[in-house]
Amino acid sequence: MSLFEEAMAIAVQLPQAERERLAQALGVQAAAPSRGQTLPLQNFVPRPDPVAWRKAETGHAVLATGSIGTTNIPDGHQAIAGIWAERAGETGQADAATESGAWSLASALPSGSPVLVHTDVCIALATGAAPAVRFFEQPPVEIRLATASYLTLLGGAQNEEQLQRIRRFVQPYAVLSLGPMASSRSVELLLAHTLADGLEPLDALIAATALAHEIPLVTQHLRPFRNIQGLTICLPYN
Q: Which residues pair with 62 in a beta bridge?
A: 176
Q: Which residues pair with 217 in a beta bridge?
A: 116, 233
Taking the C-alpha atoms of residue 115 and residue 7, their distance in angstroms, rounded to an integer, is 53
Cβ–Cβ contacts within 10 Å for residue 205, how many? 23
Taking the C-alpha atoms of residue 54 and residue 165, their distance in angstroms, rounded to an integer, is 34
| Spans of all domains in the chain | 3-47, 56-235
Q: What pLDDT score was predicted for residue 108? A: 95
Domain 56-235 has CATH 3.40.50.1010: yes
One-letter amino acid identity for 201?
P
pTM: 0.74
Q: What pLDDT score was predicted for residue 6? A: 61
Nearest residue to 234 (alpha-carbon basis) of 100, 89, 107, 97:
107
Maximum Cα–Cα distance across the chain: 79
| 3-state per-residue secondary structure call for the chain | CCHHHHHHHHHCCCCHHHHHHHHHHHCEEECCCCCCCCCHHHHEEECCCHHHHHHHHHCCEECCCCCCCCCCCCCHHHHCCCCCHHHCCCCCCCCHHHCCCCCEEHHHCCCCCEEEECHHHHHHHHCCCHHHHHHHHCCCCEEEEEHHHHHHHHHCCCCHHHHHHHHHHHCCCEEEECCHHHHHHHHHHHHHHHHHHCCCHHHHHHHHHHHHHCCCEECCCCHHHCCCCCCCEEECCC
Q: What pLDDT score was predicted for residue 44? A: 46
CB 91 within 8 A of CB 126: no
Q: Which residues pair with 104 in a beta bridge?
A: 234
Taking the C-alpha atoms of residue 90 and residue 150, their distance in angstroms, rounded to an integer, is 17
Taking the C-alpha atoms of residue 79 and residue 162, their distance in angstroms, rounded to an integer, is 9
Q: What pLDDT score was predicted for residue 53? A: 55
Q: What pLDDT score was predicted for residue 120? A: 97
- pLDDT per residue of the chain (238 residues) written in tens, 0 to 9: 455 556 666 666 667 777 777 777 666 554 454 454 444 444 544 555 666 656 666 666 788 888 777 678 999 999 999 999 998 766 666 776 555 555 799 999 999 999 999 999 999 999 999 999 999 999 999 999 999 999 999 999 999 999 999 999 999 999 998 888 788 999 999 999 999 999 999 999 999 999 999 999 999 999 999 999 999 999 999 8
Q: What pLDDT score was predicted for residue 16? A: 73
Residues 6+ away with beta carbon under 8 Å from 29: 23, 44, 45, 47
